[in-house]
Amino acid sequence: MKSSYIPMTRQQQEAMLSAVGVESLDELFSAIPEDLRLKTDLNLPKPLSEHELKKHMNMLAQRNSDACENSCFLGAGVYDHIIPSAVKHIISRQEFYTAYTPYQPEISQGVLQSIFEYQTMISELTGMDAANASLYDGATALYEAVLLASRFNGRKEVLVARSVNPEYRKVLHSGLKYSGITIKEVDFIREENNSDGKNGTIDLEQLQGELSKDTAAIAIQSPNFFGILEDIKALSQKVKEVGALLIAVCDPISLGVFESPGELGADIAVGEAQPLGNPMNFGGPLLGYFAVKSPLLRRMPGRIAGETTDSQGRRGFVLTLQAREQHIRREKATSNICTNQALCALAAVSYLSLMGKEGLKEVATQCINKSVYTYRSLLETGKVSQVFNAPFFREFVVKPKIKPNVLNKALLAEKIIGGYDLTVEYPELEGCWLVAVTEKRSVDEIDDFVDKVNSICQGGGYK
Amino acid sequence: MMRDEKLIFEKSVEGRIGYSLPENDVPKVDLEAFYPVEMLRKTAPELPEVSEVDVIRHYTNLSKRNYGVDSGFYPLGSCTMKYNPKINEDIASMEGLAQMHPFQDPQSAQGNLEILHNMDKYLSEILGMERVTLQPAAGAHGEMTGLMIIKAYHMHRNDSKRVKIIVPDSSHGTNPASAALAGFEVVHIPSDERGCVDINALENILDDTVAGLMLTNPNTLGLFEEDILKISEMVHGCGGLLYYDGANMNAIMGIARPGDMGFDIAHVNLHKTFSTPHGGGGPGSGPIGVVKELVPFLPVPVIEKVNDSFVLDYDRPLSIGKVKSFYGNFGVILRAYSYIRTMGAQRLKEASQTAVLNANYIRKKLEDFYEIPYNRICMHEFVLSAQKQAQNGVTALDIAKNLLDAGIHPPTIYFPLIVHEAMMIEPTETESPETLDNFIGIMQGLAVKAQDDPESLKNAPKTTYVSRLDEVKAARTPVLRWKK
């Protein structure tokens, strides 16, 4: 049977072949050496109808156990937040999702204006002067930020806090391996009897020792991977003493209540904007945001929308500062970015419009209330112990009496997706567990979670 | 169309809300007691205060000022703007697939891992490669990943003198940009009079400092590189590797395979060849396939099947590491998976054959009206030149803007750089002969007008929401955000 996506009929095909002046379809491919032309069909499964495809995908979905079926207490960079229905309806408008990159601005004002609005909102949240149209994810955004910093000040060393998301650091390490930029990692404080609330934050003393005239930038995350806030202001002062740049990885939801990195002295703010109206999608697509202070603006990577006027003096938007980009500058471009994450950015701008000033603050505040409630309730069971003693956002570290991987397996049987096991990425935090609680979790789900942790730990993990 | 000039911020009314959140049902935390006060935000971000209906109307109105594949013909060369099947959208948002956390226990994600594992197999078969990684988020990201593998391969052999990557002068801009980003020196080679790689020029620059060659085949002129086997022999002969830029893969599915041509690494754009929507500029997906010798260098994790169960293998000492968080743009991969499963081998081949026939049909019908610098049977796209028209003052840009008034998305213009006044036309297989004939008629009409009444073509577009925009002003005094 023919494909319903190919409208040409057999009769039309005959007529077109003769219009082109060839005898057969094969003749169209005569430029391909005979030896290279496949003699048999590709070895692929036989085609399915729509109905059969749905059945097949349903069968595969049944081998999963998702966040609709289970209560999700897992975060570590990707979060299960509430997504308003209107977001899906907006990004499902064909004019948006079936369009290409807006190279023809006269028929792309929709996506261009949405990007301009997105850039405004990201600039507002981060306290920066400008933002780009998006990058692949938080990890690649951090990689681009380090390249930008090094390009800007010509220095070749970057200091990265170990409390930055391990996935981000891995992408940074592989990306910078042959770039001539070296990475030094700075530890976090972990003292048994520390009482000044600095446990889990970057070790400023070690940082001080590493800072030099070769330092291009320091990259920190706040709230960091453990959910703990870093002192961005103090860090920015230290960084400025040696003329380096401060890159802050910040969660956009948290910026509904916390002071912006721009206000606190960061030069570049990047991060993962998936929490803004984008589903977890098994880790992709995500949405990397990227924002800078003015001096860095013309060296930013990626697409940028700018305001201008049309020949009749009316406001309009175009892709701008394109002289930075690969299709103009080729090997001298500021990055190789072509495709970015425009539709995810549209989801984010829709989400932030719906939430507004008050809604975003409410989401952030509920994340705080619910995570603090969960943390305190877990500690009260006596089955988990405190690890750090610093204020956190949405996510916290505890040490359960049994191994996190054993605990998680038992929780899954109770329809709960448990926290992130820190053992692999942080050997010094062996047995520690990173738990995320968003506004989506109700008090009943939380109480049930705490009860189950309690009873599973009671039974040593096996029931 | 009703004019609505306002930004969402300019529609804000203090006190209006557009959200519906559950009531807070746990004890409230005193923020000023829990956090150091200097860490709390003093001024709220300037987000709009609007209702749900305001937001829906605002973005619905914006969408009307946009043009998608569902709106009409989109012959944007090198971008493969084929129809995006609707069932694939339904599958991508299916419960049980999309609401999965990437760090979930793999045992609770066997369905998703099976999809990724199958996709690796299907793409490997289509490309003629050993294994595929789905991690890269876009074509350029795939290029970057491939180049990192080339680097790792040579370094592993202690061959550190290989610092050059060769790209043709007709290549996509991402090729040299990715090579530079991966730490290589970029060397351009010219095209010959037939529009293909100049073999003599290649011969002259091949030596033991060459790490590899990046090639699109068919190339950006829509021509198949007939000497590909010779080229691969030459590059391999000097110890270099061959990278396949798969942007033009829609020409050859089921007909020929990059692996058989001698390429060592190949990317495909799922958002081109495999029908996933472009989203107005992403998200895309740019998986890369590699030959057997390069499998150890693939990014981690690799998804393996062990005793009927799918596992994430991170224990790969030669791996280049990670190029992106997690396992790639799963939501995009799901759509491409659906496409391959509904197409099967024969229909994929038919798609490529039809795409090529459509391109040749347009080329034939326009050859008496426009100059076609390399006029012979093309693959899925071809490049014409508006040089003849430009002598009358009508540029490729003018023709493009007049197409907007005809309700058609213009072809790619001014690319490849080696053709003056270039217009690169790629119709794809999903367009009917009637659509092609309509486009042909309009293009022929514009050529006639360029001859008879060139001035009449200078003011287009006239029917769009805005007229031609001042791009110089936008770049000279950048306004990149709204301010209160």
List chain A domain ranges: 71-82+356-458, 86-351
Residue with tokens 């509430």: A82
Task: Report the residue of A281, A361, A367, A441 to disrupt the B interface, i.e. the one with the largest count of B CBs within 10 Å.
Answer: A281
The whole-number pLDDT of residue A331 equals 83
**Closest approach of chain A CAs to the CA of B106, in angstroms?**
9
User: Taking CA atoms, what residue in B is nearest to A60?
Assistant: B111
**pLDDT of A461 above 70:** no
The verdict on A151 touching B (C-beta cutoff 8 Å) is no
Could B474 and A318 be called an inter-chain contact, meaning their C-beta atoms sit closer than 8 Å? Answer: yes
Using an 8 Å CB-CB cutoff, list chain B residues near A282. 97-98, 100-102, 109, 112, 326-327, 330-331
| Whole-number pLDDT of residue B441 | 98
Query: Taking the mean position of all CA atoms in its chain, how far away is CA B169?
Result: 19
Beta bridge partners of B469: A310
Going by C-beta distance under 8 Å and a sequence separation of 6 or more, which residues neighbour residue B235?
A: B166, B206, B210, B212, B213, B241, B242
Give the tokens for residue B410: 């213009």
Q: A328 touching B, CB under 8 A?
A: yes
What is the pLDDT averaged over residues A377-382? 97
- Residue B349 neighbours by CB distance under 10 Å: 19
First to last CA, chain A: 54
A90 and B59 within 8 Å at the Cβ level: the answer is yes
- Which residue of A53, A66, A305 is in closest CB contact with B100? A66
DSSP one-letter code for B251: G
What b/e readout covers A313-324, taking b as 16+ CB neighbours within 10 angstroms? eebbbbbbbbeb
B454 has a chain A CB within 8 A of its CB: no
Q: Give pLDDT, residue A463.
A: 44
Q: Which band of pLDDT confidence, cut at 50, 70 and 90, is reported for residue A443?
A: very high
- Say if CB B297 and CB B290 are below 8 A apart: yes
* Phi, psi dihedrals of residue A188, rounded to the nearest 5°: -110, 160
What residues of chain B, 166 to 205, have a C-beta less than 8 Å from chain A?
172-174, 176-183, 186
Query: Does the fold of domain A86-351 match that of domain A71-82+356-458?
Result: no
Distances (CA, A) of B46 to A40, A297, A355, B10: 61, 21, 12, 11
Task: Name every chain B residue with its beta carbon within 8 A of the beta carbon of A303.
Answer: 281
- The CA distance from A141 to B255, in Å, is 38
Which of A147, A338, A355 to mutate: most B Cβ within 10 Å? A338
Q: What is the C-alpha separation between B316 and B302, in angstroms, rounded?
A: 9
Q: What's the rounded Cα separation, in Å, for the pair A337 and A301?
A: 7
Which tokens go with A71? 């209560």
How far is B82 from B77, CA to CA, in rounded Å? 11
User: How many CB pairs below 8 Å do chains A and B form together?
Assistant: 687
Please report where in the chains the tokens 């595969």 appear, as a residue: A60
Cβ burial of B188 (10 Å; 0-12, 13-18, 19+) is middle
Q: Six-digit token pair at B20? A: 């519906």
Of B36, B66, B480, the CB nearest to A107: B66
Q: Which of A6, A133, A311 sits opposite B429 (nearest CB)?
A: A6
- Domain spanning A86-351, CATH architecture: 3-Layer(aba) Sandwich (3.40)
pLDDT tens, position by position, A388-429: 989 999 999 999 999 999 999 999 999 999 999 999 999 999
Which residue is closest to A259 within chain B, CA to CA? B41
Quick one: pLDDT band at residue A191, thresholds 50, 70, 90? Answer: confident
- What's the mean pLDDT in A207-232? 97
Angle between the A10-20 and B330-366 helix axes, to the nearest 10 degrees?
A: 50
Contact with chain A for residue B230, Cβ under 8 A? no
Phi/psi at B145 (nearest 5 deg)?
Answer: -60, -45
> What sign has the CA pseudo-torsion B106, B107, B108, B114?
positive
Q: Where are the alpha helices (DSSP H) in B128-214?
A: 139-156, 174-181, 199-205
Give the number of C-alpha atoms closer than 13 A to the C-alpha of residue A161, restricted to the C-beta side.
Answer: 31
Cα B135 to Cα A278, B138, B251, B282, B303, distances in angstroms: 19, 9, 24, 15, 11
| Residues of A in Cβ contact (< 8 Å) with B242 | none
Per residue in A44-90, pLDDT (tens digit) is 999 999 999 999 999 999 999 999 999 999 999 999 999 999 999 99
Q: Which amino acid is at A448?
A: D
pLDDT at A195 over 70: no
3-class secondary-structure state, position A161:
strand
Q: Are B247 and B172 spatial neighbours (Cβ–Cβ below 8 Å)? A: yes
Whole-angstrom distance, CA of residue B46 vs CA of residue A357: 7
Q: Min CA distance, A206 vs chain B (Å)?
A: 23
Nearest to A74 among B104, B176, B365 (CB): B104
The whole-angstrom distance between B29's CA and the closest CA on chain A is: 5
Instruction: Quote the minimal CA–CA distance from A211 to chain B in Å.
Output: 24
* Domain A71-82+356-458, classified CATH 1.20.1250.20, yes or no: no
Q: Do A96 and B68 count as a contact with CB atoms less than 8 A apart?
A: yes
- Smallest Cβ distance to B96: which of A42, A61, A314? A61
The residues in A 43-82 lying below 8 A from B, measured between CB atoms, are 43-50, 53-54, 56-58, 60-69, 72, 74, 76-78, 80, 82
Question: What's the pLDDT score for residue A337?
Answer: 83
pLDDT at residue A438 tops 80: yes
Interface contact A14, partner B, CB < 8 A: no
Residue A181 φ/ψ region, left for φ over 0, alpha for ψ in the -120 to 50 degree band, beta for the rest: beta
By the 10 Å C-beta count (0-12 exposed, 13-18 middle, 19+ buried), B479 is classed as: middle
**Using the beta-carbon criterion (under 8 Å), do B180 and A174 form an inter-chain contact?**
no
* Three-class SS of A369-433: HHHHHHHHHHHHHCCEEECCCCCECCEEEEEECCCHHHHHHHHHHCCEECCEECCCCCHHHCCCE
**B241 to chain A nearest CA, in Å?**
18
Domains and CATH numbers, chain B: 8-64 (no CATH), 87-342 (3.40.640.10)
* CB–CB contact B350 A6 (8 Å): yes
CA distance B451 to chain A (A): 25
pTM equals 0.97
Closest by Cβ to A281, choosing from B148, B260, B331: B331
Residue A462 or residue B161, greater confidence? B161
Partner A contacted by B74 (CB < 8 A)? yes
Residue A233 contacts B where some CB pair is shorter than 8 Å: yes
Q: Are A90 and B60 within 8 A, CB to CB?
A: yes
Radius of gyration over every alpha carbon of chain B, rounded to an integer in angstroms? 25
CB contact under 8 A, A64 and B97: yes
Collect the ranges in chain B with pLDDT lower than 50: none
Dihedral sign, CA of A234, A122, B47, A393?
A: negative
Dist. CA B195–CA A446, nearest whole Å: 66
Q: Which of B103, B327, B334, B382 to mutate to test the interface with A (most CBs of A within 10 A)?
A: B103
Q: Which of residues 250-279 of B touch A (CB under 8 A)?
A: 252-257, 260-261, 271, 275, 277-279
- B299 in Cβ contact with B321 (< 8 Å): yes
Distance of CA A435 to the CA centre of its chain: 18
- Of A4, A15, A208, whose CA–CA distance to B87 is shortest? A4
Q: What whole-number distance in Å separates Cα of residue B447 and Cα of residue B93?
A: 45
**d(C-alpha A246, C-alpha A215), whole Å:** 10
B236–chain A Cβ distance below 8 A for any pair = no
- The answer to whether A196 contacts chain B (CB < 8 Å) is no
